A and B are shown apart, each in its own frame.
Chain A
């Protein structure tokens, strides 16, 4: 009898009791509304169940009731750290549907804006990785330069974060002179700042010890989980939509695709860091290609691009067009089109079904965050809680894009 009791107790001892820990929904370390119910064994994570949808705003449904031009503002709010990329991705989707060809100058101007947005996005992600390892200085320092980028956006479109920049067919107006001056200034001064930021973290022993080996993923697994963008490249695969399916004349530019090896936090950080340098180089090349005095800032699509205001007030035809465009009464071709751009987080795709009506029949956003955040439990299993926080910020999961 006593022997039997001993066996029973041994079995009981092997059954571990895990502590359930609610990380989020509003935890300061998760930078957004993310909930993860963790099963903890001491400080080791054994299981995680993410809950998402806290800021779901039904964009796909809303888009079915909005004329094409009004959907741009919805895309702002996907990845709000780099909204110009989303805006232009959507505009390019419609242009693809309409078979509109843009002048080279406009395409290059778009590239400048999209690459500035990418830098802003990567600044946020990388500096926040720094914050989560305990280095607040880099964050406060480099954020001034994100501010400079937002000033450039502001001078072009009037808004900073949710930009609604550009129109179907080009830009809303000619860029003012101060924009060119500000971009020149940014190109001149930012490399030095970025170097300083890098020297703060890149070869910092504490930072390296914290990040190398944290939250790694193998390339095969990353593909199965639908990773794209910097996170996939950090795992060692050189997939970049700008190269494989160039849009907006990306084929005119020479740039490298940085890739990592281990797919861990450090590699993701390094890939984003190098991408910022590549983006700077792309902007420099684009600035050389653009003729600043040329008055072209949109394609010749009178059916979709609003006529100038003076004309609307003085010209009957222009007034009619203005009204028709605003009310979405133009002829839209019937067809299904998919267009993808390389967003801050990966392949941002727009699948648009048009039945010829004034609004999309069906619009589906391929949101990179939503797809790769599924891998998060697998990435953090067996690691410490502090590594989980770090892994999340290095994956650059943006709540707006996650929840659409």
Chain B
């Protein structure tokens, strides 16, 4: 099984979605298949519970946190930020992805360090770059950047080039 075929991805998607809908109902906002990954968009308030559920339920057993990252969509009002969690069921080799949107006004989400210690530095990294506040994180401080910077550099409004220069704007070649 090199890469999941679209049919296999869809079957996996249906299987997990049925379990999630049975438990959380309306909390699962939408779902889709992106290449070989089933993706579930979840309400941010239940994100932590969903991750516990898919980890602890023996029939699902998504026990391994592959990676997680934050994203910034400034044009999506009310959903300016997002978190992505990718889980792996190693014995059956199934991978799924969760996505949840967070408004900029209340940029916080429950930590998952209590589920996976591996999330500790990953969450610190996303805090460092996006300013996402992980509620309950044991040590939420910057990790890769120096501690006294006042901005969150991965946000889209933070210009990579010197913003005062007009020969380096996006009008010539786009982003």
User: Which positions in A face B, CB cutoff 8 Å?
Assistant: 52-53, 56, 58, 60-62, 64-65, 96-97, 223-226, 237, 239, 244-247, 251, 327-329, 335-338, 340, 347, 349, 351, 353, 357-359, 362, 364, 366, 370-375, 403-404
Contact = CB atoms under 8 A, between A and B. Distances in A.
Contacts of A226: 64-66, 116, 118
Contact-residue bracket for chain B = 35 or more
B97 interface: yes
A358 B121 contact: no
Given A351-B67, A357-B175, A224 B118 contact: yes
Contacts of B35: 96-97, 335-338
Contacts of B66: 226, 340, 347, 349, 366
Interface majority SS on A: helix, strand, loop or mixed? Answer: mixed
B122 interface: yes
B2 A245 contact: yes
Identify the interface centre among B2, B121, B122, B160: most chain A CB within 10 Å of its CB.
B121
20 contacts: A52-B144, A61-B129, A61-B160, A224-B116, A226-B64, A226-B65, A237-B90, A247-B2, A251-B2, A329-B173, A335-B35, A336-B34, A336-B35, A347-B66, A349-B86, A357-B174, A362-B71, A364-B67, A364-B69, A371-B122
A222 to B, nearest CB: 10
Nearest to A364: B69
B110 interface: no
Contacts of A246: 1-2
Contacts of A373: 121
Contacts of B173: 327-329, 358
Contacts of A335: 34-35
A349 B88 CA distance: 13
Contacts of A239: 90
A317 to B, nearest CB: 21
Contacts of B95: 338
Identify the interface centre among A64, A245, A247: most chain B CB within 10 Å of its CB.
A245
Contacts of A338: 35, 37, 86, 95, 97
B31 interface: no
Contacts of B86: 338, 349, 351
B143 interface: yes
Nearest to A244: B93
A364 B66 CA distance: 12
Interface string B146-158: 1000000110001
A273 to B, nearest CB: 24
Contacts of B121: 370-371, 373-374
B34 A245 contact: no
Contacts of B146: 53
Nearest to A225: B118
Interface in B1-50: 1-3, 34-35, 37, 39
Nearest to A335: B34
A60 B154 contact: yes
Given A364-B67, A374-B118, 16 more contacts: A56-B145, A60-B129, A97-B35, A226-B66, A245-B93, A246-B1, A247-B2, A327-B173, A328-B173, A338-B97, A347-B66, A351-B67, A366-B66, A374-B117, A374-B121, A403-B144
